[in-house]
Amino acid sequence: MQEKLLDPKLDIVFKKLFCLPENRQALLKFLNLIFANRAMPLIEDVIIQNPQIDGEALKNKSIALDIYAKTSLGESLNIEIQLNNHRGLLERILFYWSRQYGSQLQSGEEYQHLQRTVSIFLLDFHLTNHHELHSVYQVLEIERYELLTDQLEIHVIELPKLSSGSRGREQTLWNWLQFLCGSSKEDWERLSINDVELRKVMSTLESISKDREMWLLAESRKKWLHDQAAMRATGYEEGKEAGIEAGRTQGIAEGRVEGKIEGKIEGKIEGKIEGKIEGKIEGKIEGKIEGAQEKNREIAIGMMNEGVALEIIIKLTGYSVEELAQLQQQK
């Protein structure tokens, strides 16, 4: 029977794999693969500023399990893995970047002492509509694409896009990400050919997967993440139902008004009795349809603003990808 392994995408497991002293070179290798296309010097050393996983602190399940590090060049790094999309994710990304950037300054120090800060987010869901696995964001002038500063850099790696086969120049990074996504041990040898550091991380995963305490921590963390996702989904469904009901009520009211008006106009021509009946019926039907369509549009726009995955929006509203793109432009 195949040995059961911990999920390397789970934040507590991910942090354990890369924060062990013996895996420092593996973390360096992983970071340099992420930065490989950035035309920047290789990171030669890294100091992890929060290597410990405090079992007691995990009782406060909302704690962040990011990896904070500083390179030999003085750059500040934040590495985070996220399994679930949630409300305000983009704002959260910027907030954590800014907090880490600002925390470098001591009282009375000059701003020029601030060092470049890079955030790396590994996401187990689709954040964008394009097919690129790895996106890099900086601050640019929108007409000339002129870089304002290199102090801010945010990397977003969308793990589900591995299946698209878009490896390009990032084949070696692709191998590491395949491992993180739970590739079978039968594939490990192929993925780690000529990659000593990846083999070392694989060996570490095997080792910690035999630790009962680590399993308990991982299962507790996984349960909390699932519960949080379920609560967010429940809140969303309740909000959607409230929106539908409000739309139905508004549509009926508008339909009655329009029906009466149209009924009176047509009644003068074709007869008051026939006109009122037809006007009310048409008004109610049109009012309900228009009210429901407008509410469905508002719901779709609201869900996009909240960062809900496109697949869920399409399923719940019936819009196509093209229609959602048009709504996004009309906002």
272 vs 208: CA distance, rounded Å: 82
Beta carbons of 80 and 63 less than 8 angstroms apart? no
pLDDT tens across 201-223, in order? 999 999 999 999 999 988 888 88
20 vs 11: CA distance, rounded Å: 14
- φ, ψ of residue 122 to 5 degrees: the values are -100, 115
The amino acid present at 231, given as its one-letter code, is M
Question: What pLDDT score was predicted for residue 1?
Answer: 46
pTM of the predicted model over 0.75: no
For the chain, give the mean pLDDT: 82
Q: Pick the residue with more confidence: 93 or 246?
A: 93
The amino acid present at 299, given as its one-letter code, is I
254 vs 252: CA distance, rounded Å: 6
pLDDT tens across 101-111, in order? 999 998 888 99
